Structure 1
């Protein structure tokens, strides 16, 4: 029985969210991004400032997964940031679980909360951008019913590294 609870993030959660974001990204991108680049991306302080602002202004909306009193994951979601998408299209801006809690239902609990939140906002579809080489993230989204839109593939620059991303989409109903 999972003890994972999901709740809206508070400003006090920003540091824990940044720590989960950093450790999870470091683990997820190991082998995809050179080690020196990973180290330069590992600033908890920069991420803490970003998530603090996101929580304060609700852009994106942020929910945290809590196991006992420890934050073990988070999701940021809102309307799609992609140009020319319908106003009823939502987007998962970020979804991360602490590596210590991978494959334990954290991602699913966060996805359920984001789906509910997006439906409350009137969204009928949802998208997410995922690096093509991040097999774990692609598998997670596809198991949650997302389908790849290969015509959307684009190259993003992460530091000095180019990463191919693809948009995934699914209906919310």
Structure 2
């Protein structure tokens, strides 16, 4: 991991950069997987900026950013699990994205480390993440961080007008 990556809580001023990373990483992740017209529909920064401003303002989820040389290069949103029937000690990674220019440079690991520490401090003993089945990069990342696929949870999620198959992944927070 790069020694120059710092992780800190997001501020309202960070919402636009977070939205830009969210849109760019989503488009890059699904290029060649989704049709171009659907890629265009997930590239809106304005809607994402409003969402992340509200998330940061109300701390739901908690949002942290990865910064390198005063530039935001990734972000993570985490909190208690939103899934029905999960224990109150189950946390969830709501979103984790690195700028495509910073993929494979330790940004995701730095963000995951910060979220793991934050969730542990809140008393969480396990953590989940919903990951699209066609996003091989995201699946590999979560598996390298110790998450295991729960194939019985596979479902279709709707993102705007796009239907995406996703699976819940889970890992314990009791061990590093």
| Band of TM-score, shorter chain | over 0.9
TM-score (norm 1): 0.98
RMSD over equivalenced CA pairs, Å: 0.9
Does structure 2 retain, via aligned residues, the 8 Å contact 1:37–1:159? Answer: no
Task: Compute the displacement of 1:139 (Å).
Answer: 0.2
Listed as ranges, the gaps of 5+ residues in structure 2 are none
Q: Which residue of 2 aligns with 1:140?
A: 141
Aligned to 2:132: 131
* CA–CA distance in structure 2, aligned partners of residues 157 and 105 of structure 1: 30
The Cα shift of 1:111 comes to 0.1
Distance 2:165 2:44 in 1: 23
Q: Provide Cα deviations, 1:32-83, integer angstroms capped at 9, x if missing partner.
A: 2211111112111110100000000000000000001100000000000000
Does the 8 A contact of 1:2 with 1:105 survive in 2?
no
Unaligned runs of 5+ in 1: none
TM-score by structure 2 length?
A: 0.96
Runs of at least 4 residues off by over 3 Å: none
* Structure-1 residue corresponding to 2:34: 33
Q: Distance in 2 between matches of 1:41 and 1:134?
A: 15
Separation in structure 1 between the aligned mates of residue 65 and residue 105 of structure 2, nearest angstrom: 15
